[in-house]
Amino acid sequence: MVPLSVLDLSPIVQGGSPGQSLRASRALAQAAERFGYQRYWLAEHHNMTGIASAATAVALAYVGDGTSTIRLGAGGVMLPNHAPLIIAEQFGTLDALYPGRIDLGVGRAPGTDQLTARALRRNLASGVDQFPQDVVELLALLGDPEPGQAIRAVPGSGSKVPVWVLGSSLFGAQLAAALGLPFAFASHFAPQMMDQAAQIYRERFKPSEYRARPHLMLGLNVVAAESDAEAQFLFSSLQQAFINLHRGEPGPLPPPREDTDGSLAATVGPGSPLSMAVVGGPDTVRAGLQTFVARHAPDEIILTAQIFDQDRRIRSLELAAAARDELMLAA
């Protein structure tokens, strides 16, 4: 079985607060560490009333203080929103605090709407078209300094924090392959191009000082519970959130509900954003993970689950880890 990792959006639930969400994220990371997950990543989003991880590096510092072995990272930082030097300093600082445990996933989407993107950057001159150059600059700032180098990231210079390219289209696959970097595809919300992106990444990968071979991580929504019925009920929170986002009405994560009117079914239809989700009891989750690995051959899977109740969210991670362990024994 391939390694499992965790992607967390630090969801703000209806009736909750950002502080509660961040404390819940730290507890989730501690649980992931206990259950043997490879890494724990937080995602950058802005102007989203249902997500608490906008200041991603700050949130990771808080999580790092409560964990000791699990790798921590951004999944990811939206690089067009920032100067590469600032990100090199932030993640260089995290590496100084938690050496050998920090990852830096970078993406080219704004992680928000255009009005908020303008507020973040003050102008849009350095946008998605600048992304490849920004990644190269970031790699240089995190690498060993050159003689006479005028600008250094302190901390950060020489840290060689691993940089990942994130993507939900073919562009990220092409860039990660050209630079010889690990690649994470957002198949948990954009599954349509996953197989094509994976093929392009592997076929075009150029060995580099960062990686000798390609390393592909795929995102996957996994909601595990004691039974299929309970898992489907818990999954309804994410289904409602996707419908609200499609309507232009994002907000706090709603509590689960029964799909009495059939309105949630469209979120898991063929080609829909959640069509690859693995939802069910222990046997269903074990079979779902096994099928996903057999069909798509990832080097790593990063699980995500927007579950309203914190205890059930942790239990979902525990059950998924148990399925992983059983599959390892079976292999």
**How confident is the prediction along the chain (331 residues), in pLDDT tens digits per residue?**
799 999 999 999 999 999 999 999 999 999 999 999 999 999 998 888 999 999 999 999 999 999 999 999 999 899 988 999 999 999 999 999 999 999 999 998 765 677 777 777 655 555 567 899 999 999 999 999 999 899 999 999 999 999 999 999 999 999 999 999 999 999 999 999 999 999 999 999 999 999 999 999 999 999 999 999 999 999 999 999 999 988 888 899 999 999 988 889 888 888 888 999 999 999 999 999 999 999 999 999 999 999 999 999 999 999 999 999 999 877 5
239's tokens: 């289904």
In the chain, how long is the greatest CA-to-CA distance?
67
Looking up tokens 């203080």, which residue turns up?
65
User: For position 24, what pLDDT does the model report?
Assistant: 98
Considering only CA atoms, which of 176, 166, 164, 165 is closest in space to residue 200? 176
Res 271: pLDDT: 80
- What SS3 string covers 168-188? CCHHHHHHHHHHCCCEEECCC
What CATH number does domain 4-234+276-330 carry, 3.40.50.620, 3.30.2010.10, 3.40.390.10, 3.20.20.30? 3.20.20.30
pLDDT of residue 246: 86
Distance of CA 203 to the CA centre of its chain: 24
- The Cα-based distances of 196 to 53, 68, 173 in angstroms read 30, 37, 9
Q: What does the CA dihedral 305, 311, 312, 313 come to, rounded to 10 degrees? A: 10
| Distance between CA atoms of residues 320 and 331, nearest Å | 17
